[in-house]
Every structure is written in C-alpha cells, then in structure tokens.
Structure 1
C-alpha cells in the first residue's frame, strides 16, 4: 500500500510539545510520509493564562506540560496529498484537503474551548477531527469526548492536547482516500495533491487566534478560584480512603446500595481496599481486591473468603505482590485451570498469572501485551473467541478516555488489536469497571464515568455489536456515588451467584481516622457499625471469635 504524503502545519518556533509529539507519531506511522513541516510563527499564551498554569502546576501537579516549547525543524518537501493542521495560531485556508480540530462545535484553540466549557458548567468536551475537503465540505474522521476537571483548566487542557496528538496521527491514517473533494482521484494519484499552506502570517504572536466569531472566555474561570483553596485545605485536613461495600445480590444491581453495610468482612486498617472481584468455586465465595497497606507505596492483591453463615470473613491478606503496583485482580477459570489478569500498567505490560495453590499462590505464566499502558484488563469469552478490553492512554493523556479491544483464539495469544481501536472514545464509560455481566440475554460491560472526577459514577453498557471488525455499546443503567449515601466516588462492580460488591471513596477528617486507629486496638471492634447479613443482626462476639 503506498504511503500517504502529508504537509504538517505547526505553531512555532518554538512549537508546543503536544504538536511536536503529533509530528513524531506521524513520522513513525508506516502508512504516512511527512513531506513538509511548516511552522507558522510563535503563539504566545496571555500572561494571565501563563500565571494560572504555574499556580495549578504547583497546586495539583498537572503533569507533563503540553504547551512546553520545543524546537522543531522545518522541512520543505513540496506539496502532498493531505494537510494536517495542528497550528492553533490561525485557522487553515480554503482550497486544500485539510485535517483540523473542532472543539464543542467551534474551531478554536483547545485552551479557549476548555475555559468556555468550564465556564458553562459542562461535564465533558467533545473534540472532532474534521476532514475539510477542497470543495469546502466537512467530514468527521474521529470524535473523542474528554472530561472537564472543574478545579483545573490547565490539567484538563493538557490531558486533552496529549490525547489529540495521538488522534491526529490516527486520523491521518484513517481519513478517506478521496479527500480532496467530489470527483477527486485516490490519494497518491495525479490531481489529488493538496496545495501547500500559505506562508507565515504577519499576525502579531500575542494576538488571539481566530475562532468562530465568539468572544474569548476569561483566562481564569471563576469556579476554579474556590478550588485553588479547597484542594490544599482538603488534603491537609482529610483523607479519602477507598473501601469495599458487599451485600447479598439483589434484583437490581443499581438499587438499594445506601442501605448495604460493609459487615461481611472484618476490614483491616489499610487506606485502600478497591477493585473487588468475586469468584465462586466449588460453592465457596472468594473476594480478591487491590490493597495498599498502610505506609506502602504500591498495591498488592489480597484475598478473603466470604462465609455462608453470615459471620464476617477475616481481613484480606496479600496473595500476590510484584516490584510494581498491582490492582484489578481479574480472576477466571479457563481450560481447566485458574488464572488472574491483574492490572500491571506500571510495568507497561498485561501479565497473566496461573494459580499454583489457589487462592494463595500464583506464578506469572505469560505476557499477553507488552509496551502498552493498559489499565483494568478485562477478559470475555464470546462466540468462540477471547476478547480483551482495557483502558489505554496515549502518553501524557488520561487513562479514562479510551477503551481498546483485542481478540485471540487462544489465551496465550497472539492477541490482535481491533481495527476500530479505540472502540470507545468517551470518558463517560470507556475505562473498564469490572467483569462483563450477563443480564438476561444481554452482555453488559461496567464502565467508569470519569467526566468530572476519577470515580465519578459507574456506567453499565450493553454490548450490541462485538465482531472482529465492529463494536458498539450503549448505556443502559448508572450507579452514582450519591446512590451509596456517603460516597464521593465509585469505580468498580462485581458479582457472583450470591454476592455483589462495589468500591467507594469517602472523605474523612484525619483527626477522626487517627482516633479510630488508636481506639480500635483498645476496644476490639466496638467502633465498627452493626453487622447486618440478609437483614438480620450478627452477634459481634461470634463475629470476632471472642
């Protein structure tokens, strides 16, 4: 297949780091050839925005700066079939087949689009990669939906821009071959080449880029000013531990959680118990979870067995540890053996473990995927194939925004990427949130809604199409933190034939937590809430074995 030749138009020099990353990805694509790189001149942010960036970087640790200046050399390889317009300083001219971004229905810089959406109180911002043909018609090539962080326009913008670097490269590969208008020849044929972009404009570098005739939003969104004070104060005064809530399985997975207690397990004092997986074997009910022990820097996989008589199980104990962080212990049976597929994104791998003495001993059996930042890997056996779902983040971008899918005929692989990856590009449900469930005749995939915050809600999504060439799903139910009473975040659901579990995050004053930690050894477990199982109180003396 002949390579598609490109003209890439950037801001600079200096060029924003996200545009340099996009150029790097375009250069690395086996389907593309970058013939010309044309910087249009510097695009300097207003002083108030630069000040806001410094403040929010200090307060929230916003990560790698997408607008950091980078030196990129110009190239002059002549005309090409398609122009990739990354520059935000000026809009592209008419008359050339061009890929460009549109945010929230407007062609404007991502910085302005984020501030505008935050000022409107929106939860998400949709960004489209448009193919603007030579005849003036537009076609949407890629769509991605990003979450908005009300406390930080800087973090929101940078996560978006790092993602757009990957979207630009993907879109340049997937844009229709007949890109230059009605009756155009196929890419690579005579007459299909787009004209080169215009020479550098004489617009002053501090002038705002043109948008769709809308006034620019204020450099600092008023709502974020309060967050600048609340964020540090909350971290100083409060802890936000993750815990697990268990109950007997009810008729509706999304109803009645506020009345459920956590009395089925005698939890320890670890600040993080999350990602509960329920696994049933030989009539016994096992709970695996992520645990971050007090004072530890990374998570381990812990286990406890739930009791059928209503007495609380023992505190979870670690059964798998690694030099890197472990979480999301997806346990399953396949081929007569028991397996675990934990999240090992800290090692940039998807690792498969085999039980050697279930549930206490595991050995690494294979690496299913390597050199990939894959979160919450979730396996499904369907129609004679194995399907692997995972959240995948472009470098510097959020892991909440995109769901990727692979398929294989064998557990050991090879695992082939789905041609439509990412099969979901929407922060409101992309990242997996537990095993795929069967609700009657439907396959339902729990997903995380991270639009406003991490753990914003659970989105239950019915899988409507699952083939080697296509994928489709739609939301059919939701579980919000408010449905659990005092929860501020929730991001996982699991069930077996008798029990179901979610994880949740609360806010707790540090002084209260310290007092509880001191009092518990002195008073036994008297500070725990009353234990309830199947609607009846449980004798605490019997529960504690005293």
Structure 2
C-alpha cells in the first residue's frame, strides 16, 4: 500500500554548468553527494553560490518525525571536500526551497514557507549563518517555490499558488516589480500543466528568452523536470514559447534513486540536483498511528 511508502531525496553536486547538464552533455561529470542527514530525514531543494573560493549549498533538511523542514548549509572547497555543515534557518513552520542569490552586493535567501501565511525574504547579516528578515519586502501571497529573476530591467517572480491544493502541482504564476522589494504586480497565470508548471530551480538566459526548470508531477510529485522557454518580456505579459521533454536523472544514479528529480540549480560552473526514491517504512507509519491513538 502506498501509505507505507515515503519519499526520500538525495542531493548531488555535478561538476558541470547548468546549461551543459540541461543539454544532456554532462553524462561523465564528476558527482559529489551531500551527506545523508540521518534516520527519518532527507535533504532536498539544493541551491548554492560561490563566495571566496568556497561553494555554499543550502538545502531543506526534512524530518519525518516532526514533519517540518529546516534550512542547512554545506560548505565545500574547490575540490568538493566538505568543510562544514550547519543549521542556518529554522522557524515554527516548514521551510524548503532555499533560493539563494546576490543583489547589489548583498546575499539574499527566499525560502518557501507557505504554512506561515506569507513569503519572507531574508538578507545575510553574517553569511552564511545569520539571516535577517527584510521587512521592506512585501508579497501579497504565500507563494510556493518562488523563483526570483532580474531580467530586462525588471524583477520577475515565478511561483505556484498555495490554494486550491491541486494548483500547487499544476499552475505557474508570474509577478513583476521595478525593485526586489516591490511593489509587486501579479500578472496572473503564465502556464497550467501538471506535466511542468511548478518551479524547480534556477532560470538562465537563452538570447532574449529565459529557460525555467519546472517539475513534472504527472505521475507523482517531483517525478521529473521539464524546461519552459519564456519570452516576450517586453510585452504586457511574457509568454511560454515551448516546453521541453522530461530530463532524466544521471544514468549511474537512476537505479538507486529512480522515482524523481525536482530541483536543478546552477551555481557558477556546477549544478545542484536532488533525486528521489520511494522507500518502504512500516515503523514510521506505526509510530504516527500510535501518536494519533494515544
């Protein structure tokens, strides 16, 4: 029965740029796995950047026992040796999708936290360990997997609505603002397709257009990735020009984690991904049942 299975994700660093991987030309790229977080836990949604010759990878650390995610950072040197791992952001609510980026000399973090009822932007007060909320950033909806992009002289935000629940896997919305802190104008629905609408990583530029990774949830949540090519950013509302085919996981990881791939994030000359397997775990569900009974 599916009730006795749970999703387990595993994060990897691929020594190839995101455009190379997306084009299927990184089959032989060296891979470095982030360490496993322990029993009943997984790491997912890796995003990163380089700072002073070190790679900082931020990821969701999810605990099935508390049913809540926190944000961890993993610090690597140039040869991908792990130097340090630490919890950097925890709230009473679930956190995931820690989109990290630079803007005007500052480093920002925009995690998914829709159960808090809002979308919160954080600025690094002491990178990468101390983050402070940016009160000037006001977004009217608790957007899911919000993906910011500065392009064509404006800030754009790709996101999925929290309600109704089915829209979380099938609807892509777009908003625009003159500055990072707004004011944000929602342009409405950009794309609707369970096979590829929910954001799934960092966009990149292709000529005047943008390529946005999105999740394929046709068979299961985070079952794979597709790419949307988005153009006409000078029009009242951009348009999706094409949707590419499903991106499979690396061949040598497919056997161990065959059930999903839902994040593709570029960080300089490397790419960060996560892979999924469905794991049978009767003990976990009996523990949850016991809590409900007693």
Per the TM superposition, whether the score is higher than 0.5 is yes
- Pick from 361, 364, 379 the counterpart of residue 133 of structure 2: 364
Distance 2:281 2:125 in 1: 41
Higher helix share: 1
Q: Which residue of 1 aligns with 2:91?
A: 322
1:217-296 to 2 correspondence within 5 Å?
230-232=1-3, 235=4, 238-249=5-16, 251-253=20-22, 255=24, 263-269=32-38, 271-293=41-63, 295-296=65-66
1:425 counterpart = 2:196 = no
Distance 1:490 1:257 in 2: 16
1:378 counterpart = 2:147 = yes
> How many residues get paired?
276
Larger Rg: 1
Q: Which residue of 2 aligns with 1:53?
A: none
Distance 1:274 1:416 in 2: 30
- Contact in 2 for aligned 1:242/1:273 (Cα 8 Å): yes
- Pick from 105, 120, 123 the counterpart of residue 336 of structure 1: 105
Q: Which residue of 2 aligns with 1:470?
A: 237
> Which range moved further: 496-505 or 238-247?
238-247
Query: Alpha-carbon deviation of 1:400?
Result: 1.2
Q: Which residue of 1 aligns with 2:290?
A: none
Q: Which residue of 2 aligns with 1:414?
A: 183
Distance 2:75 2:199 in 1: 24
CA separation of 1:482/1:452 partners in 2, compared to 1, >3 Å: closer, same or farther? farther
1:498 counterpart = 2:269 = yes
Q: Secondary structure at the match of 1:411?
A: coil
Distance 2:27 2:259 in 1: 13
| Higher normalized contact order (CA 8 Å, seq sep 6+, divided by chain length) | 2
Distance 1:427 1:266 in 2: 31
CA separation of 1:338/1:311 partners in 2, compared to 1, >3 Å: closer, same or farther? closer
Gaps of 5+ in 2: 285-294
- Contact in 1 for aligned 2:138/2:181 (Cα 8 Å): yes
Q: CA RMSD in A?
A: 2.7
Gaps of 5+ in 1: 1-229, 514-546
Q: What TM-score do the two structures reach when normalised by structure 2?
A: 0.84
Higher strand share: 2
Output one character per residue of 1:423-461: Cα deviation in whole Å (capped at 9) or x when no partner. 111222211001112356642100111122111210112
Q: Which residue of 2 aligns with 1:461?
A: 228
- Pick from 308, 311, 322 the counterpart of residue 81 of structure 2: 311
